[in-house]
A and B are shown apart, each in its own frame.
Chain A
């Protein structure tokens, strides 16, 4: 089955710096890669995603890159702010229609942005 490795498990940065979280996956058939942000005591929420036919996607201060050959994808947060502090989860999904849907989460990264 799919295996998703996420690094680092904890990351501490100064406000204004950039943060990068990396994930690798094992199933070459995975074709959709969402990232979730979970603030303390709250539910995980989708913040950005990328499909396998795209190499990079950007939304304001966050961006995701995908290298299908190497089977890794990364989340980049620029100009970090204290409100970016949260646990971030990557996921790899294999979806080929109907019931053929398999999702595997990484173990999460605790990001702390220090003022």
Chain B
């Protein structure tokens, strides 16, 4: 089974701070994704990457940036966090059957 880990699992920060959320996977899958989840809005795609040199914006990329440091690692950064970025963030990989396999999530609170 693929395994996806996210760090930190919970983070509270203040407006204007820079935050990095990290995602790692152990099975060498090329495709990695970052989503945010808000109540009533479902899962919305922030960024996705098909390999180390291929980064693409999703539907809500403003205010976020990403880095694919290696095939196994895909980081999401908030350069200057704001309160409406308070959400649950999920990293996911696409497995061979085209399904999304999600990490455990990071709960971010911006005060």
Contact = CB atoms under 8 A, between A and B. Distances in A.
Given A99-B50, A101-B94, A103-B45, A46 B99 contact: yes
Interface of A: 6, 9, 32, 34, 36, 42-46, 49, 89, 91, 93, 95, 99, 101, 103, 105-108
A99 B44 CA distance: 19
B100 A103 contact: yes
Q: Is the interface of B mostly helix, strand, loop or mixed?
A: strand
A111 to B, nearest CB: 15
A43 B98 contact: no
Contact of B98 (A6, A32, A45): A32
Query: Interface size bucket, B side?
Result: 20 to 34
A85 B42 CA distance: 17
Contact of B104 (A36, A43, A91): A43
Q: Is the interface of A mostly helix, strand, loop or mixed?
A: strand
Contact of B43 (A34, A44, A46): A44
